[in-house]
A = this chain, B = another copy of it.
Amino acid sequence: MLSSTAEYALRSIMHLTSHPGTACTSKEIAESGQIPGGYVSKVMQDLVGAGIVESQRGPNGGFRLAREPGAITVLEVVNAVDPIRRIVACPLRLPEHGSRLCQLHQQLDDAIASFERILSEATFADLTREGKRSSRCQFPTVERGAAKRKRGK
């Protein structure tokens, strides 16, 4: 339903939401979100490009949210890496269908619209608040490299 790239992007944003204030390195995000090392970079670049995340290079660099979690929706994140495409014209391009969708594709687009709408209704502030139905999704805290090495791990 969602590509794994989209899953990764969402996990990354969850991680950043759970660690406000600090810049998180891609390695940290990869470990926390069980995302293939190195692939995170690609995903993060898309998120930077979409203005959802800010990056900083050099020591103590990393990624942080460009906005408040309450101003970032799930849909936005998904669209940044793997846009959901609505059906705007009959893929068959039958002239009989003109500009209107045929019933099949109208139905499919209705389903996509509904999917899209639900993803647009949740912000990351919502997703990290303790809810009724679900447990709080606190992603594991990963120690920064420096602290880790000092302890000889």
Contacts and interface: CB of A to CB of B under 8 A. Distances in A.
Interface residues of A, number: 48
Interface stretch (A50-58, A59-67, A89-97): A89-97
B118 A110 contact: yes
Contact of A136 (B103, B111, B118): B103
Given A85-B1, A107-B74, A134 B96 contact: no
Number of copies: 2
Contacts of A7: 91
Contact of A115 (B103, B112, B127): B112
A71 interface: no
Nearest to A13: B104
Interface in A117-140: 118-119, 122, 126-129, 131, 133-140
